[in-house]
Structure 1
Amino acid sequence: MLFALITIATFLTMEGITWCTHKFVMHGFMWYFHEDHHQPRYENPLERNDIFFVIFAAPSIALFYFGINPTLNYMFFIGLGILFYGIAYFLVHDVLIHQRFKWFKNTNNRYLKGLRKAHKIHHKKLYKHDGECFGMLFVPFKYFQKPRI
């Protein structure tokens, strides 16, 4: 039970870590790698921005390693929470929002539409400053409201 709570707490904590990393690192000193993600896409299916998958995977891999040596311990479950967040990020950000894979093209889910709308607002800014909506799973409530007619 404790290990499940560690995994869930890590997953939820990753949203805050992702928000801070997106705002202060990706839109800060590592803008060079993130910049192409804010530009129109052409032929190449890869972006320099994809390096962040490796950067975020490294701590998870290390925690898996140290979480089973010499015996199974809490670090393994922290690594598992990071892995689960990475999978969710991939499915929401790369598959649902950016359609890098055409798996979930049409959705009427209000929550998923809100995520997509918030991310579109984030991408209206083509430069590193004055951005908004840096989160991935938790975005401001206003993006989930139906437009007033």
Structure 2
Amino acid sequence: MNFLIVLITFVLMEGATWLIHKYIMHGFLWALHRDHHDHSNEGDLERNDWFFVIFAIPTIILLYWGVRNDFSAVFYMGVGIFLYGMSYFFVHDIFIHQRIKIFRHTQNPYFLAIRRAHKQHHKHIDKHEGECFGFLWVPVKYFKMYFKKSQ
């Protein structure tokens, strides 16, 4: 049952991420997210990196609360969010944006589709008229582009 809670939470985080990205990061918190699109930051960190802190706080609270309550379901929800956050870090920051220069030459169609959709998202440097707000699931047309090539 606990594994199921972690898995469901992880999957639901994709929808939450889409909503947060479209309506909050490209909405009233655009001031924090803008430098991720226009590359106006100087140095290794962006104002956008504050979102890691913002999203870590509820995760830590859920984990703490769940431990204090004998590893209740809340703990496993926190684990699901934590695992999603780690996935986001590895795929978005390391693979897509190459903050650490590894996995540059993949031929995996799934990862190529995600990278392509993210590039489409970044072609818009303002907060309006964006596309591809998801993370692990992007519009099917990007998957079709690369899965056809691999067959």
TM-score (norm 2): 0.93
On the 8 A contact 2:95/2:103 being kept in 1, the answer is yes
Q: Find runs of 4+ consecutive structure 1 residues off by over 4 angstroms.
A: none
Q: Structure 2 CA distance, aligned partners of 1:25 and 1:139? A: 19
**Equivalence for 1:93:** 92
Aligned 1:35-114 pairs, distance under 5 A: 35-40=34-39, 44-114=43-113
CA distance in 2, matches of 1:84, 1:33: 23
Single out whichever of 67-76 and 139-148 deviates more from structure 2: 139-148
Q: Which residue of structure 1 lines up, in the alignment, with residue 136 of structure 2?
A: 137
For structure 2, the residue ranges without an aligned partner over 5 or more in a row are none
Count of equivalent residues: 147
State the 1:40 CA deviation: 3.2
- Report the aligned-residue RMSD: 1.5
Question: How far off is 1:42 after superposition?
Answer: 6.6
2:48 maps to 1:19 = no
1:49 CA displacement: 0.1
| Residue 123 (structure 1) aligned with residue 147 (structure 2) | no
1:144 deviates by: 1.6
Aligned identity (percent) is 52
- Give, in angstroms, the shift of residue 106 of structure 1: 1.3
Shift of 1:103: 2.1
Contact 2:113-2:145 at 8 Å conserved across structures: no
Judge which range, 68-77 or 45-54, deviates more: 68-77
Q: Deviations over 1:75-116 (max 9, x none)?
A: 110000000000100011001110011121110000000000
